[in-house]
């Protein structure tokens, strides 16, 4: 669970029950600063003179606001729309694209008007009937660490459980999902877990759950009837990488229940970075050992108009061949969505 150093309530947020509950939960905690502001300008309330300090203080800050603009962003290729329940994440993964996307103070923000957000989702679903409409709940966040006091996932899962044409999915690096296990989800929510080798997690994924805790949580979700999936990302090439990723997949094979109603999904993403991301990462994590030597990569223009440094084609082919072979040999009821 995320225990913030400070909580900032934006204008009108305390009119909603979620915000009131969060205020009541933390108001008597002497280690949590409570700030209520009459505007939506928040950066001045987050300390830090240099980028490294601003980043760390932002990661320990919770913003409670309301979502006014209810036009959902698209979320291709994994879903039709983003589901804006939470933005930001308490984790401090060195490679994370949110390091650049969320600026110099990457705070966690929750939206108190969840009912308004779900009502908007209903409108999008109705527009596409009889087609299914899929919503991604973790496009710019990890919603699990704040779930104990927002209950946003619980509301969303229950909502989609009763929607014939609506589907929900989210991904997490955390294991605190017990409150979600007994909900009437009806198989309409897919819970995915971002996993990696232990060496990658320990080296780069600070303040996240261990590999084994994530796997344990995924098994609990599967046994509760949820469709489950694994996002193995980013994949790094390093000494013994094949052995370690093979060990990871073997561990999954040994733990996943044999009889599953839904196939286990796999999404595999190799490590890549932009020049902007590299510069910011090295400011925030000056001792980072992330492999970001431009000369060892291939520069590739992406669909959003900017370029990234990716592994050369022969490395990407090797990654694809390895995961295709291992997953197909080890898992019966599985679906590889993509390997990139």
Q: Which of 190, 129, 137 is nearest to 164 (CA)?
A: 129
pLDDT at 54: 86
Q: Is the pLDDT of residue 40 over 80?
A: no
d(Cα 168, Cα 229) in Å, to the nearest integer?
A: 13
pLDDT at 102: 65
**Are 237 and 272 a contacting pair, CB within 8 Å?**
no
Instruction: Give the CATH number, domain containing residue 37.
Output: 3.40.50.12110
Q: What is the pLDDT of residues 245-294, one digit of tens each?
A: 999 999 999 999 988 989 999 999 999 999 989 999 998 899 999 999 99
* Share of the chain residues as helix, strand and coil, in percent rounded to the nearest 5: 35, 25, 40
Structure tokens at 129: 């009937």
Cis peptide before 77 (omega within 30 of 0): yes
pLDDT at 97: 77
pLDDT at 104: 64
The pTM is what? 0.93
Q: Is the pLDDT of residue 5 over 80?
A: yes
Q: For 23, left (φ over 0), alpha (ψ -120 to 50), or beta?
A: alpha
Q: Who wins on pLDDT, 41 or 8?
A: 8
Does residue 312 fall inside a structural domain? no
Number of structural domains the chain divides into: 1
Q: Is the pLDDT of residue 127 over 90?
A: yes
pLDDT at 174: 98
Q: What is the pLDDT of residues 163-209, one digit of tens each?
A: 999 999 999 999 999 999 999 999 999 999 999 999 999 999 999 99
pLDDT at 51: 83
Q: Is the pLDDT of residue 103 over 80?
A: no
Structure tokens at 224: 């509760």
Does residue 113 fall inside a structural domain? yes
Q: What is the pLDDT of residues 133-153, one digit of tens each?
A: 999 999 989 999 999 999 999
**Are 158 and 183 a contacting pair, CB within 8 Å?**
yes
The residue range of the domain holding 111 is 1-197
**Are 40 and 68 a contacting pair, CB within 8 Å?**
no
Structure tokens at 221: 């979700």
Mean pLDDT of the chain: 94
Does residue 112 fall inside a structural domain? yes
**Are 327 and 266 a contacting pair, CB within 8 Å?**
yes
Does residue 234 fall inside a structural domain? no
Q: Is the pLDDT of residue 124 over 80?
A: yes
Does residue 339 fall inside a structural domain? no
pLDDT at 259: 83
Burial class (CB in 10 A: 0-12, 13-18, 19+), 313: exposed
pLDDT at 106: 83
Q: Is the pLDDT of residue 76 over 90?
A: no
d(Cα 271, Cα 310) in Å, to the nearest integer?
A: 7
Does residue 272 fall inside a structural domain? no
d(Cα 25, Cα 19) in Å, to the nearest integer?
A: 10
Does residue 240 fall inside a structural domain? no
The string of DSSP letters for 237-267 reads --TTHHHHHHHHHHHHHHHS-S--SSPEEEE
Does residue 8 fall inside a structural domain? yes
């Amino acid at each position: 669970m995320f225990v913030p150093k400070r909580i900032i309530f934006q204008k009108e947020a305390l009119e909603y029950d979620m915000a009131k509950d969060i205020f009541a939960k933390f108001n008597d905690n002497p280690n949590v600063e409570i700030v209520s502001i009459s505007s939506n300008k928040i950066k001045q309330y987050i300390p830090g003179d240099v980028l490294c300090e601003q980043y760390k203080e932002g990661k320990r800050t919770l913003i409670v606001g309301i979502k006014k603009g209810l036009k959902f962003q698209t979320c291709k290729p994994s879903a039709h729309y983003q589901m804006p329940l939470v933005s930001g994440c308490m984790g401090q993964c060195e490679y994370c694209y949110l390091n650049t996307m969320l600026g110099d103070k990457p705070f966690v923000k929750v939206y108190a008007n969840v009912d308004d957000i779900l009502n908007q989702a209903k409108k999008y679903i109705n527009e596409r009937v009889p087609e299914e409409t899929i919503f991604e709940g973790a496009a710019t966040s990890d919603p699990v660490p704040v779930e104990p006091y927002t209950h946003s996932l619980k509301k969303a899962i229950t909502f989609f459980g009763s929607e014939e044409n609506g589907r929900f999915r989210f991904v997490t690096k955390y294991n605190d999902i017990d409150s979600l296990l007994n909900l009437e989800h009806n198989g309409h929510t897919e819970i995915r877990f971002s996993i990696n080798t232990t060496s990658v997690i320990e080296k780069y994924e600070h303040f996240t759950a261990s590999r084994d805790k994530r796997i344990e949580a995924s098994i609990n979700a599967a046994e509760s009837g949820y469709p489950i999936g694994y996002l193995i990302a980013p994949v790094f090439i390093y000494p013994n990488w094949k052995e370690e990723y093979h060990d990871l997949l073997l561990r999954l094979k040994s733990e996943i229940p044999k009889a599953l109603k839904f196939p286990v999904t796999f999404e595999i993403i190799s490590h890549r970075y932009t020049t902007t991301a590299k510069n910011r990462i090295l400011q925030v994590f000056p001792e980072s050992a992330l492999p970001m030597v431009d000369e060892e990569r291939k520069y590739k223009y992406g669909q959003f108009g900017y370029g990234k440094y990716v592994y050369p084609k022969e490395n990407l082919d090797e990654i694809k061949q390895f995961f295709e072979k291992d997953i197909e040999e080890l898992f019966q009821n599985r679906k590889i969505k993509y390997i990139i």
